[in-house]
Amino acid sequence: MNLQELSFREALRAAMREEMEKDPQVFLLGEDIGVYGGNFNVTKGLQEEFGKERVVETPISESTIVGMGAGAAMTGLRPVVEIMFADFITLGMDSLVNHAAKFHYLSKGKVDIPMVVRLPSGAGTGAGSQHSQSFEAWFCNVPGLIVAAPGTPAQAKGLLKAAIRNNNPVIFIEYKKLYDTIGPVPREDNYIIPLEESYVERKGSDVTIVTWGPSLHVVKKAAGKLSEEGISVEIINPLTLYPMDMKPIYESVKKTSRLIIVHEGQKTGGVGGEIAAKIAENDAFNYLDSPILRVAGKDIPVPVAKPLEDEMAPGVADVIDAVYKTVGLS
């Protein structure tokens, strides 16, 4: 496979460029995504390349932006909507939840909504409690939406291309901590990571850790340290949070007999709780030798001060402590 080193944001840009070149129905929609290149420079240069009719600057109105995207998708276009910060999707929830997510069902399957909503999410930039939240659990509670959350540049490209080609509305979670991360990305314009599949990121035998987004990198660091102590960690990454492919998780739990779930979003009502519940409903539960543990964001507004912001989200030490607990070392 022909690889190139790209940042997470460059991989997203490459995915959109390739899909816009391939399909004239694909266009971009959002605030400041043209000349300015988007709030996080993800769409930089695309308006110059494809023109103002395909990279459309919008008013500062998230309700309008999401509504325009849903309406365009109903006509057969394939909009990729950017919300400047995920927090601002609250202003577009009616268009998203009550309309975009429901049109296919209400039309008896006659109307598709091939729309992607890109959401720069999470903490790590010191932007405070109104610009740093992780809302993935909200969207996993809405039938009709697909929720995707890549953790590496390669995943960002392959998953976004799959989302753009999908005929359902996809919430595409882009954790802001990841934009500057760099990694190998396939050059091929047909490189796709299918939606609704979970991946084994690291094989292990002592404990299963399910994680995604920026927490994937935290867990990988923890797993490396633990391996030096003779503790083998298996890491499962559900790139699509809803609908989630649980099969690799079930199989891993049956092998390791222990499960920890790590995510940046708040612990209460988080996606981790749903994973734990599904394990409890499956025969994998009978293989557990210790309680399921969740290592997640604290149930507080995201602080501005970096030391407090770092403390809010799970860190390497938190993951290691949870592993010690589940294997009986603390």
Q: Which amino acid is at 263?
A: H
CA 208, CA 217: separation in Å to the nearest integer? 15
CA 75, CA 78: separation in Å to the nearest integer? 9
Helix axes of 271-281 and 247-256: crossing angle, nearest 10 degrees: 70
Give 185's strand partners.
4
Which structure tokens are listed for 253?
A: 């739990």
pLDDT at 145: 98
User: Which strands, in side-by-side order, build the sheet including 146-148?
Assistant: 55-57, 26-30, 78-82, 116-121, 170-175, 146-148, 240-242
> pLDDT tens digits, residue range 109-124?
999 999 999 999 999 9
- Residue pair 210/261 in contact by the 8 Å Cβ criterion: yes
pLDDT at 205: 98
Q: Rounded to an integer, what is the distance from CA 229 to the centroid of its chain?
A: 31
SS3 at position 52: coil
- Average pLDDT, rounded, for the chain: 97
Which of 99, 104, 131, 263 does the annotation list as catalytic? 131
Catalytic status, residue 99:
no
Domains 3-186 and 198-327 share a fold: yes
Whether the model clears a pTM of 0.95, i.e. scores above it, the answer is yes
Instruction: Give the residue extent of every domain in the chain.
Output: 3-186, 198-327
> pLDDT tens digits, residue range 176-199?
999 999 999 999 999 999 999 999
**Which of these, 244, 236, 246, 137, lies nearest to 196 by C-alpha position?**
244
Catalytic status, residue 131:
yes
Which of 62, 201, 274, 309 does the annotation list as catalytic? 62
How confident is residue 234, by pLDDT bands cut at 50, 70 and 90? very high
For 143, residues 6+ apart whose C-beta sits below 8 A from its C-beta are 101, 105
Query: If you average pLDDT over residues 267-282, what whole number do you get?
Result: 98
pLDDT at 199: 96
Quick one: fold of 3-186?
A: Rossmann fold (3.40.50)
Quick one: fold of 198-327?
A: Rossmann fold (3.40.50)
pLDDT at residue 285 above 80? yes
How confident is residue 330, by pLDDT bands cut at 50, 70 and 90? confident
**Which of these, 252, 244, 254, lies nearest to 286 by C-alpha position?**
254
pLDDT at residue 1 above 80? no
